[in-house]
Structure 1
Amino acid sequence: MEEPALRLADKPMTAPELSNLWATFQSNSMANCILRYFSAKAEDEEIKSTIDFALRIAQQQTDRIKNLFAAEEIAIPIGFTDSDVDVNAPRLLSDMFMLEYIKHMASVGMMTYSSALYISSRADVREIFDDCLISSIQLERRSSQVLLEKGIFVQPPYLSPPQKVDFVKNQTFLNGWLGERRPITGIEITSLFINMITNSIGKALITSFAQVAEMKDVRKYLIRGKHIATKHLSVFGSILTEENTDVAPTWDSHVTDSTAPPFSDKLMLFHTIGLIAFGIANYGTALSSCARRDISSHYERLMQEILLYAEDGMNLMIKRGWMEEPPLTVDRGELIKK
């Protein structure tokens, strides 16, 4: 039986509901621009079909939120528009990278929308996030299937199954920097490999952005991001290599030599900051499940580095007048002064 709260569509939106809808509009209006360009450049029919499927999802989700905000007399965000994309610009990325990118962004959507659905109570808002989550799952499944069929799915390392149950004998299980180190666990391999995949995708995308960015400060920021991703890939890769475990492949060769921008500097900077935010969440999750001190220390140090990088990116967005203000609580201090 449904809870009464789920049937209330006439009550005001809560802070999480309004904020998550606002953020979803921003990210999907950006995705709409990127996917329109991808669709215009894709040559492989299966990949183009997957891109078009993702594009329809982004358009539908943006329209639903726009209509809801209009009905509720809530200011509709600007987000990203036709001025932020040039579908006639030359190819910047390969079809295979576009497909891997879509799988990656679908996984981001699954995590984001499950959290938004969990905290929402209004029936109409829950329905939006429920549909967003289902669409993300469908998109992840579809993109993964095409990757598998084409033999380009990034396969994680294998692990020999345990033949018996055992227990940790002493605290040396936690060692890392000093003393004998144990082999890494399957969970630690998983986190390292996932963070290699995300950094590899991010590095290729930021490299392509740096090639076409028009403003010097934006280009400088993107180049810095490329160096950070390279460094993080080296750290994670060295741990896996030391453990005789496979590392994730890079996507560097899937960036063309084009210098004509298909996207605005505003969009590329916004997207880069979004990738970093997802990376921070990934590092936090990895840190919470890591028992070896040396690996935990790497996550803590690298997380601090990308936190500062994200902050610098937001400062650049503010400097350029590109950062839309998200929904805020009422400033009681200012009201009292009046």
Structure 2
Amino acid sequence: MPAVKLTASEIGMLWIQYVQNTMTIQFLRYFDETVEDEEIKSVVQYAERFSSTVIEDIERIFKEEELLVPDGFNEKDVNMEAPKLFSDGFIVMFLGNMGKAGVLAYGASLSASSREDVRQFFSRCVTETTELFNRAVDVGLEKGIHVRPPQIDVQKEIEYVGGKKYLSPFQKRSLNTIEISHLFENIKTNMLGEAICAAFAQTSTSKEIVAYMKKGENISSKHIQSFSHVLNVSEIHPPMGSNSLVTNSTTQTFSDRLIVFLMSVLSTTGQGNYSAASTASMRYDLVLTYQRLSVEVALYAKDGLDLMIKHGWLEEPPQAPDRNELITHSSN
């Protein structure tokens, strides 16, 4: 066992990655069972092997450090006998988003780590999720289901901003390429969220969870419309949604605990995306739009947190000792 103990940051990052990978692998196991295209199946299996390795490595580190291994999620959280719920096109989108989110999450975990073995672990994770993203994009392009960002004509000479009019929310200039990129990607992630919410709403047996998922579907739909409108005004075509991402299956496929936890993860990711987009955008109307919609996502995430607490589904991350409680206990 390494002589240097894990830092609080390292424990926290390893903990959340363990829990999230035990959730993700339930989807991947189900995808492996239901995917029809063999080339997409190979990407699913690559992701499945990667998540399994992450789970095993973190479990080993925790046991070596004599830390409690989180419960996370397991085979009880997925019905492997359920009919096909997601199309192969959705699975490619899911894998691509998993790779993209993984590069960011593992990169952040790496930057917060100090111990050599932990840095090496997260470095491998960054490499593997980059490979996953590339494989998902490649197979998506080959199958004609990967949505490319738009191509535009740009000025031939370097220009500098001539005044505050460039930032104005009232005299709106055409979008720059950075703003287009964020709008486009946020539409795509909301399309994925909309499909996930629709699938969970039609398969959950709990009226409470169904209502929560329908609310999430409506939020995603509204955000897609908002971002698409901005692109349309600049005569840029937004990515088109598809009603074929989810099948007509109504059989419960995933546990309510798992699907609410996933919505929590997606909401957190969405807030991060909106924050990055707000910071990168140089038109004040876009900044205000991202900030306003981010509040809506935060409130939705809180509703999910309340649901998890209500039903006893929320596993506590490792935390520092409460010194006041220790002092009180020792004095009794």
TM-score greater than 0.5 by the shorter chain: yes
* Structure 2 counterpart of 1:106, one-letter code: G
Quote the residue 2:105 is aligned against: 112
Percent identity, aligned pairs only, is 37
Quote the residue 1:4 is aligned against: none
* Structure 2 counterpart of 1:204, one-letter code: A
Quote the residue 2:93 is aligned against: 100
Is 1:15 aligned to residue 12 of structure 2? no
* Structure 2 counterpart of 1:166, one-letter code: E
Shift of 1:161: 3.0
The residue correspondences of 1:165-204 to structure 2 (distance < 5 A) are 165-176=158-169, 178=170, 180-204=171-195
Quote the residue 2:324 is aligned against: 333
The residue correspondences of 1:228-247 to structure 2 (distance < 5 A) are 228-247=219-238
Name stretches of at least 5 consecutive residues in structure 1 with no aligned partner: 1-7
Is 1:316 aligned to residue 307 of structure 2? yes
List per-residue Cα deviations over 1:277-307 (Å, max 9, x = no partner): 0000000000001111111111111000100
CA distance in 2 between counterparts of 1:249 and 1:35 reads 25
Is 1:297 aligned to residue 288 of structure 2? yes
Shift of 1:248: 1.4
Which consecutive segments of 4 or more residues in structure 1 shift more than 2 A?
Answer: none
List per-residue Cα deviations over 1:183-242 (Å, max 9, x = no partner): 111111111001000000110011101111122211111110000001100100000011
Cα RMSD over matched residues?
1.1
CA distance in 1 between counterparts of 2:302 and 2:225 reads 23
Quote the residue 2:138 is aligned against: 145
The residue correspondences of 1:47-62 to structure 2 (distance < 5 A) are 47-62=40-55
TM-score of the pair, normalised by structure 1: 0.95
Name stretches of at least 5 consecutive residues in structure 2 with no aligned partner: none
Shift of 1:79: 0.4
Picking from 47, 66, 71, the partner of 1:78 is: 71
Quote the residue 1:286 is aligned against: 277
CA distance in 2 between counterparts of 1:81 and 1:157 reads 40
Is 1:90 aligned to residue 83 of structure 2? yes
Picking from 298, 315, 323, the partner of 1:307 is: 298
Quote the residue 2:56 is aligned against: 63
Shift of 1:97: 0.8
Q: Which SS does the other structure have where 1:68 is aligned?
A: helix
CA distance in 1 between counterparts of 2:328 and 2:292 reads 43
Shift of 1:336: 2.2
CA distance in 1 between counterparts of 2:283 and 2:183 reads 12
CA distance in 1 between counterparts of 2:243 and 2:58 reads 36
* Structure 2 counterpart of 1:57, one-letter code: F
Quote the residue 2:199 is aligned against: 208
Picking from 27, 33, 40, the partner of 2:33 is: 40
CA distance in 2 between counterparts of 1:54 and 1:320 reads 31
CA distance in 1 between counterparts of 2:159 and 2:123 reads 41
Shift of 1:159: 2.1
Q: Is the 8 A contact 1:87 1:262 kept in 2?
A: yes
CA distance in 2 between counterparts of 1:96 and 1:166 reads 41
Shift of 1:71: 1.5
CA distance in 1 between counterparts of 2:138 and 2:279 reads 31
